[in-house]
Structure 1
């Protein structure tokens, strides 16, 4: 099953926001738990879910505007 190209920007935002928040929340939780890592996984999963709930909608709003800004700044618009 292929996803229609018109959904590309939304899919891009979904994937990028999931990857970014995964790594950022993992580091944030690890830094906040030192030296006791008991309960790391549940805390990290909760932090990732909350981060992603904010990052995904924000990215879908901001990314098109940033692409336009970059295109204007580089003269490719």
Structure 2
């Protein structure tokens, strides 16, 4: 399955936010529960299920502004 080139910005934001929120929610969940107790995987996935859509929306909305800022900060 191929997506049209016009969707690249959105697909990038969705995939990158998924990976980032997965990693960050894992560390945050482990910290919140005090380590790696039984059942942490389900807690982690629950936290990720909430975090990913939020991260994706933020990435889609803020991404262009960040790209413009990076362009101004670099040569």
TM over 0.5, shorter chain? yes
Q: Report how far residue 54 of structure 1 moved.
A: 0.9
In structure 2, the CA distance between the partners of 1:35 and 1:2, relative to structure 1 (3 Å rule), is closer
Q: Deviations over 1:8-40 (max 9, x none)?
A: 000000110000000000001111122561211
TM-score by length of 1: 0.87
Q: Report how far residue 74 of structure 1 moved.
A: 2.1
Larger radius of gyration: 1
Q: How many residues align?
A: 75
Q: Secondary structure at the match of 2:38?
A: coil
Higher relative contact order (CA 8 A, sep 6+): 2
TM-score by length of 2: 0.90
Q: Report how far residue 41 of structure 1 moved.
A: 1.3
| Structure 1: 5+ residue stretches without partners | none
